[in-house]
Amino acid sequence: MTITRFVLNEQSKYPESLGDFSILLNHIVLGCKFVCSAVNKGEEQKKLDVLSNEVFIKALVSSGRTCILVSEEDDEATFVEPSGRGRYCVVFDPLDGSSNIDCGVSIGTIFGIYMVKDGHEPTLNDVLQPGKNMLAAGYCMYGSSCMGAMMMVHELVLSTGSGVNGFSLDPSLGEFILTHPEIKIPKKGKIYSVNEGNAINWDGPTAKYVEKCKFPEDGSSAKSLRYVGSMVADVHRTLLYGGIFLYPADRKSPNGKLRVLYEVFPMSFLMEQAGGQAFTGKQRALDLVPTKIHERSPIFLGSYDDVEEIKALYNAEE
């Protein structure tokens, strides 16, 4: 089952979409391939961010199905020329984990999709929507260096709102093949994932949670720590193995580091669709209503029971 056929099947559930959605998704997949090949050509890190953004935007615009694009790399949203417009808004982080490029550790592209209401002129309010209004979200993960593009392992994980499916690039076909159908995150995990170097600045509930991971009070075994520093890689492992990923608020960054529209929302959407949870420290992440396109939020996401525990600690604080 290729991703193209998978998306066509999904789409037959929504006959009114007239094929636009699968055309858009095909162009997102193409954009991911372009980003990966740009990364492989191995220019400087700074230029690679810019280059990835350019190729991804070109792939989206050439679909003829987009109207508003929000990228981590651009201060302002891009409004597609009226003649080349469609009804979809795409929010994305073209190259996530850029600090890992030079040492060959996994990086990726994250995306989320909204739709403009029929017959409306697109405005920024079409993307300043809670994450639960997304139609689809996903990411593609690439190894950041190797013996050339043909050797690269790409994993593409996608949800169109009815579960989560994982695809792997078959280099001999150049096609993504369904390898992880119906991904469900384990209800409880054995791994926590956080930049513990920030611990000096954490708030009470986060500090207490991590302490409990290491010194459990209920006789259970301590959790293992895994932290790559590429959100795509840390979330991918969390989805498959279970556990929790945290990027909390701290005294230096009261809103955390990760951006709501193109990091927090897509990953939270996938987690919920896989049976897990995503929490901001105050509320369900997908209920957040962003007021700025580059807004940040603390985020705790992963296995249902593990997120339930951190929720209890924050709720007890109030």
What are the residues binding ligand AHG (CB under 6 A)? 72, 93, 96-98, 195, 229-231, 234, 257
Q: Which is nearer to ligand AHG, 27 or 257 (CB)?
A: 257
Closer residue to ligand AHG in complex, CB, 65/257: 257
**Residue 192: partners with Cβ closer than 8 Å, 6 or more residues away:** 210, 213, 223, 224, 225, 226, 243, 244, 246, 306
Instruction: For the CB of residue 149, give the shortest distance to Mn ion in the complex, in Å.
Output: 20
CB under 8 A, 24+ apart: contacts of 11-17: none
H or E stretch at 28: helix 20-41
**Minimum CB distance to ligand AHG smaller for 39 or for 116:** 39
Question: Closer CB to Mn ion, residue 95 or residue 271?
Answer: 95
Residues 30, 63 contacting (CB under 8 angstroms): no
Shortest distance, position 75 Cβ to Mn ion, whole Å: 12
The site map against Mn ion for 78-107 (x = CB under 5 A) is ---------------x-xx-----------
Residue 37 binds: one of Mn ion, ligand AHG, none (C-beta under 5 to 8 A by kind): none
Choosing among ligand AHG, Mn ion, none, which partner's interface includes residue 40 (Cβ < 5 to 8 Å by kind)? none
Distance from C-alpha of 116 to C-alpha of 263, rounded to nearest angstrom: 21
Q: Which is nearer to ligand AHG, 10 or 72 (CB)?
A: 72
Distance CA(71)–CA(78), nearest Å, equals 8
**Cα(152)–Cα(154) distance, integer angstroms:** 6
Q: What SS3 state is found at 62?
A: coil
> According to the binding rule CB under 5 A, does residue 234 interact with Mn ion?
no
Contact residues for Mn ion (CB under 5 A)?
Answer: 72, 93, 95-96
